[in-house]
Chains A and B, each alone.
Chain A
């Protein structure tokens, strides 16, 4: 009898692993205290992992993948978030993986940390608006405050007094990084 060859048909996925319910449903005490990782986040050199704090089962729904409400302590790119995070809406993604206890040191020993971005506090106005404001206020070069959305895992902050910003902001497309500079060869 010849070897049976399995041929997969369909779209490929970047997910690798199991859903969260498949993991915690099989563990004693629902895996509280264990470490799980999202394989999607292993692209970063900094460690990304989660430690399970609390698990609440959710009733199975007929035409839905089973979700579970899990509260975790999340470490994302080396930064542990101060507050526990609840995973519910993303718990169906088959991208979670349980870390064996003897492998946990791989993540815990990785001391890399994502660098924080310091934004300047002021940015110039867009050209047309600048002309209007110039006419109204008489200020030859009006500036406005930089505003950005603060989220719990964003490592950006505004520069304090006398601090040098690490990222330059202006009302144009800015400067490409060294990695992608060659996309602009001969253009700018």
Chain B
């Protein structure tokens, strides 16, 4: 076994020396393998792998090493198992025996601690809730004020609009001054036509002549 390993090592170094590479020339064959789901290659179909014979000395030595190792391991495991059992028996961590009075006292102590905790937490809770309530009131108040301001502004804008319309209504054409308005319109015809010269001057009216300058 060991001898064989040494020989293999020697052969590989010899081969590496022949090829002129360093001692450990690696060749990756990972991506060149036939996928596992393909059947056996035709050329390998009837190949029968050789059964290697173990020599007698190797066989006995491996058997001896195996037996030796198993006995060692079993001994250590048994020792550790016994150690755990001994630990469990001697330690009092998980089986303390108490009298009923002691149990009752212990329970009372626990209850008291619990009550103290509850009281402490209740005070904290009260504080927190009061603070939250105040914050809520302030927030609502703020929102109400904002709404009032908004309403006032809106009303102001509406009044402004109404005043503007009333002001405008003075020049409206009504049934009474309709004739006068028609008269005025006929008397003052408006000509919306205009022309623009190259300089960008606007010349209003259809018949207006550009002023000579």
Contact = CB atoms under 8 A, between A and B. Distances in A.
> Which of B46, B51, B56, B72 lies at the interface centre, i.e. has the most chain A CB atoms within 10 A of its CB?
B72
Given A11-B49, A146-B71, A183 B2 contact: yes
Contacts of B60: 177, 179-180
B75 interface: yes
Given A11-B48, A11-B49, A174-B68, A145 B61 contact: no
Interface residues of A, number: 28
A1 interface: no
Interface in A143-188: 144-149, 169, 171, 173-174, 176-177, 179-180, 182-185, 187
A126 interface: yes
A129 interface: yes
Interface residues of B, number: 24
Given A11-B51, A183-B58, A174 B1 contact: no
Interface of A: 9-12, 119, 123, 125-126, 129, 144-149, 169, 171, 173-174, 176-177, 179-180, 182-185, 187
Listed from nearest, the 10 A-B pairs whose CB atoms lie closest are A180-B61, A147-B78, A180-B57, A144-B79, A147-B74, A147-B75, A174-B68, A148-B71, A179-B57, A146-B75
Interface of B: 1-3, 46, 48-49, 51, 56-58, 60-61, 64-65, 68, 70-72, 74-79
19 contacts: A9-B48, A11-B49, A12-B51, A123-B71, A123-B75, A144-B75, A144-B79, A145-B78, A146-B71, A147-B75, A147-B78, A148-B70, A148-B75, A179-B61, A180-B64, A182-B3, A182-B57, A183-B2, A187-B2
